[in-house]
Structure 1
Amino acid sequence: MTISMLGIKVGMSQIFDSQGQAIPVTILQAGPCFVTHIKKAETDGYNAIQVGYYEVSSKKLNKPLLGHLQKSNLPPLKYLKEFSVQSTNDFSIGQKISLDQFKVSQVVDVSGISIGKGFTSLQKRHNFHRGPMTHGSKNHRAPGSIGAGTTPGRVFPGKKMSGRVGGKKVTIKNLQIINIKAEDNLLIIKGSVPGKNGNLLKISTCD
């Protein structure tokens, strides 16, 4: 069964193993999450659970969302996300999902929104070469020709051009769990994850 949780990126650091090797790690604050809604195939056409995370003041939620949580006697939760499951028999409304289900050396997948870099040029976005930098050259970082004139008389879709970079959903797979501090809801994994500090992340693993 796939286990999924929501968490926040705290930051990066490094730890040293028994041989003195430095291991780059990312610290995540994962959970506790609560099951806020259950969808069943008989009534909704598919099996899924809605998970809530990050308790906030009730003033920061609108009335429909606040009423949805109060109906299940749950605290105000900022983030709600739906996860598909094979069966809903193991879940109940208000159930707490914590780090107890993860183990050290287990492998997880982490998804999040990557850092947005804004509107960038061809050199940064697609690793294009620049033009000559000598005197008289007017093609230092210009894109140059993007297609023929009369035939075909248009630019083909998918042409590599300048545009926005980053700010997209990215999934990093097979990240190893180095340490778990359940009392502080901290998950320490090897490597980097998408987004900046404070970014919302989805952490999932498959048994």
Structure 2
Amino acid sequence: MSGIIGKKIGMMTVFEDGAAVPCTLIEAGPCVVTQIRTEEKDGYKAVQLGYGEKKEKRTSKALQGHFKKANTTPKRKLAEFKEFTTDFNLGDTIKVDDVFAEGEFLDVSGKTKGRGFQGVVKRHNFGGVGQTTHGQHNRQRHPGSIGACSYPARVFKGLKMAGRMGNTMVTIQNLKVVKVMADKNLIVVSGSVPGPKNSVVMLHK
């Protein structure tokens, strides 16, 4: 299996050889195989996993039928993982120790914390007060000039300006697996992971 779905619990400190290593605790799995993609039918090979419980009354009829085919209860999160080695059946349970082992490296994808509508100082690290961002003499957190005069008479795309910040999918690569606690479905990875506590994350090999 190439990955698993989990939930970010929070951060912690692990001591290795006398050094304090900041780590993230993740509840990874157990996940249920809810669909199997094949080359013949779908054009690619992958396994769809479901994670977390969801009330049946809050699940659409179509999804209820989808989960009944796999003989499982409605799941909160679905995600596909490419798989080329092991054969799976609908309804199989995937646990964290089936995918990862201590000492391996993995990638973690998650949705970052939403920061709302932010200005250029916070969003793009402009100079602000003291560095007088772009020569502003009385508005020191403003972006300054953003375009020319009569030509081109518009603002170019891609300029660093104020706008919504955060709430985007981000992948952190090459995080080391420090510890796997299979009996509690927990995994400890070095470094930070995107998103707030209790947010859903995807762990990839």
TM-score calculated relative to the size of structure 1: 0.90
CA-CA distance at 1:119 after TM superposition: 0.8
CA-CA distance at 1:131 after TM superposition: 5.7
Deviation string 1:18-73 (CA, Å, 9 cap, x unpaired) is: x3221111100000111101121111222222111112332332222112111221
Partner in structure 2 of residue 200 of structure 1: 200
Q: Any stretches of 5+ residues in structure 2 without a counterpart?
A: none
The answer to whether the aligner puts 1:183 opposite 2:186 as a matched pair is: no
Is this contact kept in 2: 1:61–1:78, CA < 8 A? no
Aligned amino acid, residue 90 of structure 1: D
Equivalent-residue separation in structure 1 for 2:131 and 2:41 (angstroms): 66
CA-CA distance at 1:76 after TM superposition: 2.0
Deviation string 1:143-195 (CA, Å, 9 cap, x unpaired) is: 22111111111111111111111111100011011111101000011111000
Larger mean CA deviation between 183-192 and 37-46 belongs to 37-46
Q: Percent identity?
A: 43
* Coordinate RMSD, CA, aligned: 1.9
Larger mean CA deviation between 151-160 and 177-186 belongs to 151-160
The answer to whether the aligner puts 1:91 opposite 2:58 as a matched pair is: no
Aligned length: 200
Give the 5 Å matches for 1:74-85: 74-85=72-83
The answer to whether the aligner puts 1:157 opposite 2:157 as a matched pair is: yes
Aligned amino acid, residue 94 of structure 1: G
The answer to whether the aligner puts 1:37 opposite 2:35 as a matched pair is: yes
Equivalent-residue separation in structure 2 for 1:151 and 1:131 (angstroms): 31
Select 2:22's aligned residue among 21, 24, 28.
Answer: 24
Aligned amino acid, residue 98 of structure 1: K
Is this contact kept in 2: 1:172–1:194, CA < 8 A? yes
CA-CA distance at 1:132 after TM superposition: 6.5
